[in-house]
Amino acid sequence: MSESVGAGDKLVVENATKYYDTKSGPLHAIDNFSMSVAEGGFTCVVGPSGCGKTTLLWCMAGLHDLTGGTVKIDGETVTGPHPQVGMIFQEANLLPWRTLTKNILLPFEIKRQKPDLDHIDRLLDRVGLSGFGNKFPRELSGGMQQRVAIVRALSFNPSVLLMDEPFGALDAFTRDEMNLLVEEIWLETHKTIVFITHNITEAVFLSDRIFVMSARPGRLVKIFDISFARPRSLDLLATKEVFDLVNEIKAEIEHAPSQGAGGPQPTTVKGDRAHG
């Protein structure tokens, strides 16, 4: 079960398989999953809870080893934490006793690298947090904390941004705001983004491509190309095209066989189809 790999692909996952060792025996988290992400592409991965999405993302970042298969960035196999990869998690993970600026600077301290303070100031300004550098996390809303996490991830100027349900804990209104912000930043910076979410509407709003995973062990069941014009407006979410597409993706997840390898070959639905 493989995905065709194009010449310009920034990030390529080939036949990824992951077993965790647990007290009750090996746990099969991902099964022969392949995906490729074009340079500068915005890709979402959706799938049911526990299907292996976070595992996949951690393997992409070099934070977990695969049991089988490879992850390549710029053609080179990822074997450990990769300098070109920035990560954003569901929780902002800010240390409560450090100001925002000091939270952003922490990874630089750990790596003993000199930060570009002007760049960080520009990023804080870009996410609407200019002048907030001396605040503490408790003084900020959840959405503002995630803006700090975005700045922290971008402060290294990574070419690949991996985002694991970053807005899952936010209310719907704030999530919409954050999605607009992420699209704007992506259009400005041309980062290659892989974004994981349970929320199919969010995936449709953000992506160029959606990879749909089956229930655990996570396998690739379908690829959707999404070609709505950019920048996208929230009005898009109220259209019948999006409604139908979301339902089609939901049906793929619900009907995918859940256990064991050797399921059906994944298919790609092209943008024209996706637009009804």
Ligand X SMILES: Nc1ncnc2c1ncn2[C@@H]1O[C@H](COP(=O)(O)OP(=O)(O)OP(=O)(O)O)[C@@H](O)[C@H]1O
Q: How far is the CB of 247 from ligand X (least distance, A)?
A: 20
Site track for ligand X across 134-153, x = CB under 6 A:
--------------------
Buried b (16+ CB within 10 A) or exposed e, 24-48: eeeebbbbbbbbbbbebbbbbbbbb
Question: Binding to ligand X by residue 191, rule CB under 6 A?
Answer: no
Contact between 159 and 192 (Cβ < 8 Å)? yes
Query: Which of the stretches 19-27, 117-125, 151-159, 251-259 binds ligand X when contact is defined by CB under 6 A?
Result: 19-27
18 bridge partner residues: 30
Amino acid at 150: I
User: Within its chain, how far is the Cα of 99 from the centroid?
Assistant: 26
Choose between 89 and 108: whose C-beta lies nearer to ligand X: 89
Task: Give the x-and-dash track for 3-42 against Mg ion (CB under 5 A).
Answer: ----------------------------------------
In this structure, what token pair is assigned to residue 74?
A: 């710029």
Part of the chain binding ligand X (CB under 6 A), chosen from 48-56, 98-106, 149-157, 220-228: 48-56
Q: Any contact of residue 51 with ligand X (CB under 6 A)? A: yes
Minimum CB separation from Mg ion for residue 163, in Å? 11
**Separation between Cα atoms, residue 62 and residue 64, nearest integer Å:** 6
Helix (H) or strand (E) holding 28: strand 25-38
Rg (CA), the chain: 19
The helix or strand, by DSSP H or E, that contains position 222, with its residue range, turns out to be strand 220-225
Give the nearer residue to ligand X in terms of CB position, either 27 or 117.
27
State both tokens at 106: 């922490």
Q: Rule CB under 6 A: say whether 24 interacts with ligand X.
A: no
Q: Which two tokens stand for residue 150?
A: 């975005």
Please state the closest distance from residue 249 (CB atom) to ligand X, in A: 15
CB of 236 to ligand X, least distance (A): 25
Is residue 166 near ligand X by the rule CB under 6 A? Answer: no
> Which residue ranges make up the site for ligand X (CB under 6 A)?
20, 22, 27, 29, 47, 49-55, 198, 216
